[in-house]
Amino acid sequence: MPGTELFGAEERKEIEDVLSTGILFRYNHDAQRNNIWKAKDFEEEAKKITGAKYALAVSNGSAAIMAALTASGIGTGDEVICPPFTYIATIEAILFLGGLPVFAEIDETLCLSASGIEKAITPNTKAVCLVHMCGGNADMDSIMDVIKKHNLILVEDAGQAFASSYKGTYTGLFGKAGAYSFDFFKIATAGEGGIFVTNDETTYKLADSFCDHGHDHVGDKRGMENHPIIGFNFRISELHAAVGAAQTRKVAQIRDTNRSHKKFIQKKLAATEGISFAKLGDESGDSATFLNILLPSTEIAQRVVDEFNKAGIAGFDYWFKNMYHFINQWDHIKNLKTASKLAIHVLDAPQDYKNLHLPKTQEVIGKLISFGVKCAWTEEYMSAMADKISECVKKAMKPVNA
């Protein structure tokens, strides 16, 4: 959790600014707030890093991806190609907007592949919701070729990939709109928070209204604002935005440190038989928040996990059995268990979610073990960590009956 490692005077000062005014609401109250606008500051810091023309701070990353989807025109009955490896919020957002998720194959980038998207396209496909997983980036050149060929809408969930880029363009800015998460576990945190980004003014205005009950935010009297669309409440508070702004100013430093640490550990581990690493669409654009190890097979990966647990190694995720991030454990999605009826119950799912055939995805996630990279690690700690990982992998690689 790199962001939380660097909590300090900067975050405290930003919070105290807000408390000094008593205005915790992000809009209006101009006279009382003494020109303190932390949500606006947060948005500006995100724009500085990503180069986005428009940024909107919202209550969380889930709200950000929902805003990105709806502002891009995704709604009832629209088929949206999405990955089976993502935080569950991506799928929830599509469903709650009335969309119909269509799961497609990922590859060793841990993201949707161009071939996976191509195979999942039907006459009813409207959009692709691409998720940049584990701090990396997808193979955007090949994916954009498919998007353009089929005239699809691209929405990017870069919740885990803030500050990641592909050939100079930041994740979240290849399509109509993008989303970042600033929850407790990200490269920078607001406690709870998210950022919606786009380079299109109309899309931004739709998201801006959608996330605040349809308000157009014109004028300085909230009760007299017009409502061009129906919306809901996904506003961020000034307190959360204050932390987010301070944290985002540290992202460049965190990213550079992460990259150095990740390269150091990868170099140490590369000589160990059985260890390879997840690919990146663009190595130079890695945010390096995760060290993603690929083992030769699912069986060996599971043996490695057992060895890690025996050795007391912590801080890793074996996504194949993770309840939140991988479709194998999403029984509530497979069975469409909801509190109330959704559009998908009326329109029917475009796939049999209980019997999906995604062999490449099962292979990749079965072999994947990820470690969160920390910027506070010392070289001594990383050397010892790499040695322990290597030793566990060597044990797991031995024949079971040897």
The pLDDT score that the predictor gives to residue 97 is 98
Q: Distance between CA atoms of 280 and 277, rounded to whole angstroms?
A: 9
A 10 A CB-CB count for 292 gives 24
- Give yes or no for a contact between 79 and 332, defined as CB atoms under 8 angstroms apart: no
The pLDDT score that the predictor gives to residue 220 is 86
Residues of the chain short of pLDDT 50, as ranges, are: none
Q: Distance between CA atoms of 127 and 138, rounded to whole angstroms?
A: 16
Q: Distance between CA atoms of 239 and 216, rounded to whole angstroms?
A: 23
- Strands 125-131 and 276-277, bridge-based pairing: unpaired
Domain ranges (residues) in the chain: 2-251, 252-397
Q: Distance between CA atoms of 150 and 64, rounded to whole angstroms?
A: 26
Mean residue pLDDT across the chain: 97
- Give yes or no for a contact between 182 and 173, defined as CB atoms under 8 angstroms apart: no
DSSP state of 236: P
The pLDDT score that the predictor gives to residue 401 is 67
Residues catalogued as catalytic:
186
Residues 6+ apart with CB under 8 A from 163: 49, 50, 170, 187, 251, 252, 255, 287
Phi then psi for residue 143, to 5 deg, are: -70, -40
- Strands 177-181 and 169-170, bridge-based pairing: unpaired
Residues 6+ apart with CB under 8 A from 223: none
The pLDDT score that the predictor gives to residue 1 is 66
Bridge partners (DSSP) of residue 56 are: 196
Dig out the tokens for 76 from the structure.
């009832």
Bridge partners (DSSP) of residue 127 are: 80, 153
- Give yes or no for a contact between 137 and 70, defined as CB atoms under 8 angstroms apart: no
Q: Distance between CA atoms of 220 and 228, rounded to whole angstroms?
A: 17
Q: Distance between CA atoms of 85 and 179, rounded to whole angstroms?
A: 17
Q: Distance between CA atoms of 187 and 78, rounded to whole angstroms?
A: 32
Topology (CATH level 3) of domain 252-397: Aspartate Aminotransferase, domain 1 (3.90.1150)
Bridge partners (DSSP) of residue 125 are: 79
Topology (CATH level 3) of domain 2-251: Aspartate Aminotransferase; domain 2 (3.40.640)
